[in-house]
Structure 1
Amino acid sequence: MAGAVSSRGCRRLRSSQIRDLLDTKHCVLFDCDGVIWNGEKAVVGAPEVVSLLKKRGKNVFFVTNNCTRPRESYVQKFSRLGFKGVGQNEILSSAYCSALYLRDVAKVQGKVFVIGGDGMYKELRQAGIPFVGGESDAAGVTISDCPLDSDIKAVLVGYDDKLNFMKLAKACCYLRNPECLFLATDTDPWHPLREGRVIPGSGSLTAALETATDRKATVIGKPSRFMFECIASQFAVDPARSLMVGDRLKTDVLFGASCGVDTVLTLTGVSTLEEAQSYRDSHAPEEQAFVPDYVVDTIADFLPALEDGGTL
């Protein structure tokens, strides 16, 4: 390959190198928040990049740890933000993959206690998974005298902006049973808001339960390999011919590394080039998995390589 370098090393990609890299790839995986869009605004050039990749015969998938909406809602958002032809089967969220895991891998026989929201509820319903979550307790009821469901076989933790002490306490009670599965949609510790504000992510809620129960959750979303396995089970995807584009080093880049997929860090989201370089220069072996193969300022940097009319 003429322009690109295969070793992990935060290599800045220029147009000719991007072209050479895409020449070797058949499948491109994108994170959404901070890569494809920020809030309700598409990253400049992102709709055109996705459209041109598909036009050039690339398989494009969107893998997101955001569990707050069902896949059909993501389809609507893609359309609303100017992306054309994005199908539901191209979107893998941590909520959707958690439902698949419970149904097809764990084959849970009973109910799931959910710390989460409507996006998780809808994916579980569509997968036929019975669950308990979101119900309010009667006034004055405490964890000492509230009813507990004897048929809970798993606890699933995701982002929950209505989290309260009772939900955490009930989850702790259910997880005292060692046969009760403990699952988390993802490990994202926080999410950025406008004007420098942040909110705690699913990983923070999961960490609280892990501390309280002395158990470790099985993580479904990135950086777990399960999301890639969901794609590979439905489509002919070769890791060596795939590319992961993301904005978080400890989720997107680690996900790609654990799946044997080359990674591109885009600087339109959470992680910075300085962070990536610090991991690259670290002497701690475990931190090398956080180092992206390549770096671009934005995925719009892909446009010149896709627009010049040559074959990829």
Structure 2
Amino acid sequence: MCEQITDKNVSSLVEKHDTFIFDCDGVLWNWPHVIPGAVDLLNKLTALGKQIFFVTNNSTKTQDDYAKRFADIGFNAAKKADQVPSDLQAIKTDEVQLDSDITCVISALDLHMSYLKVLKAATHLKRKEVLFLGTNDDASLPTNDEVVMPGAGAVLAAVTAASGRLPTILGKPHTPMWKVIQDEFNLNPTKTVMVGDRLETDIAFGNNQGLTTILVLTGATNESHVNELKEQKTDKSNIPNFYISGVGKLAQLINDSK
């Protein structure tokens, strides 16, 4: 576990897997800046016949938004073929109307969260037949700044506390997002790679589903964390199989191996 990817093992790693799943923020870009080599890696894997999927906990963007973003950086990501269906990836919450027709409350990242919205959500959830879903439980957003930016998990915590209900969480590291991809595209977990920058979401997500996991150090995790992981003897759920400095280095190693 936690083996560095080098010219000695990269060919075997690529040849053994037919599917690569990528997180986006901190892996392919730190928006608006694209990680050097990211597009080269995506195009190289595509040329090698690999399936590529993008799995993000960012629920503020639609499939169209992401398709345009990928097109802007030079990669043609087909909607639905390469991305998680929008009911998981891009759920947006509007103000909940207090009427008996509401059958589901979805808690997502809301930059305009208000007391009234939490009140309405919690009130609907008093009815046990109302489904309670959370897009993800990320406590904060990935950022290199000193300011802490609360994530969807902070919104979810408020609704959970007010309602006394526990949600079904759709995003990483939980199982529902993987089940949607696996069922729709018939993926084999033993031939699938998860590439991410966050240990508690991306890597735990891959490990929980039996995928091969690669940690990149261009986002939420740095090399000092890797050294700590190598000494970790208890919780193994967030320890990656492999790590590398970034997707650009991975692209370089793959190119040099051919």
TM bucket by the smaller chain? over 0.9
Counterpart in 1 of 2:28?
A: 36
Cα deviation, residue 194, structure 1: 5.2
2:123 to 167, 170, 173: 173
Instruction: Give the AA of the match of 1:196.
Output: E
| Residue 175 (structure 2) aligns with | 225
| Whole-angstrom CA distance in 1 between matches of 2:238 and 2:6 | 22
In the alignment, does 2:114 pair up with 1:164? Answer: yes
Shift of the 283–208 alpha-carbon distance from structure 1 to 2, 3 Å rule, reads farther
The number of residue pairs the alignment matches comes to 257
Note if contact 2:91-2:135 (Cα within 8 Å) is conserved in structure 1: no
Q: Give the aligned partner of residue 4 of structure 1.
A: none
Q: Is the 1:97–1:230 Cα contact (8 Å) retained in structure 2? A: no
SS of alignment partner, residue 90 of structure 1: coil
CA RMSD of aligned residues (A): 2.0
The secondary structure found in structure 2 opposite 1:33 is coil
Spell out, residue by residue over 1:6-53, the C-alpha distance to the aligned partner (whole angstroms, 9 max, x if none).
xx2x21111231222111111000000000111112100000000000
Q: Is 1:50 the counterpart of 2:42 in the alignment?
A: yes
Question: Do the aligned partners of residues 303 and 279 (structure 1) sit closer, same or farther apart at CA in structure 2, a change above 3 Å counting?
Answer: closer
Q: Provide the C-alpha distance between the structure 1 equivalents of 2:98 and 2:19, rounded to a whole number of angstroms.
A: 46
Of 200, 208, 222, the residue aligned with 1:272 is 222
**Gaps (5+ residues) in structure 1?**
1-7, 100-118, 122-131, 136-146
For 1:176-195, list aligned pairs within 5 A: 176-193=126-143, 195=145
| Residues 211 and 272 (structure 1), Cα distance of their counterparts in 2 relative to 1, 3 Å cut | farther
The answer to whether the 8 A contact 1:49-1:300 is kept is yes
Identify the range of structure 1 (50-59 vs 150-159) with the bigger mean alpha-carbon deviation: 150-159
Cα distance, 1:210 vs structure 2: 1.8
1:235 and 2:185 are equivalent in the alignment? yes
Q: What TM-score comes out, normalization by structure 2 length?
A: 0.92
Contact 1:256 1:262 in 2 (8 A): yes
> Contact 1:183/1:218 (CA < 8 Å) preserved in 2?
yes
1:277 & 1:70 partners in 2: Cα distance? Answer: 37
TM-score normalised to structure 1 length: 0.77
- Counterpart-to-counterpart distance in 2, 1:269 and 1:243: 18
Change (3 A) 1:72 1:210: same
User: 1: CA distance between counterparts of 2:131 and 2:224?
Assistant: 38
Percent identity over the alignment is 30
Alignment of structure 1 residues 70-85 onto 2, 5 Å: 70-82=62-74, 84-85=75-76
Structure whose CA Rg is larger: 1
Alignment correspondent of 1:98: 88
Indicate how the Cα distance of structure 1 residues 224 and 47 shifts in structure 2: closer, same or farther if over 3 A, else same.
same
The answer (yes or no) to whether the contact 1:157–1:206 under 8 Å persists in 2 is yes
Cα deviation 1:148-206 (Å, max 9, x = unaligned) = 21211111000100100000111111111122111000111111345332311111111
Q: Which amino acid aligns with 2:88?
A: S
Q: Structure 2, unaligned stretches of length 5 or more?
A: none
Tell me the CA shift for residue 309 of structure 1. 6.6
Give the letter aligned to residue 85 of structure 1: N
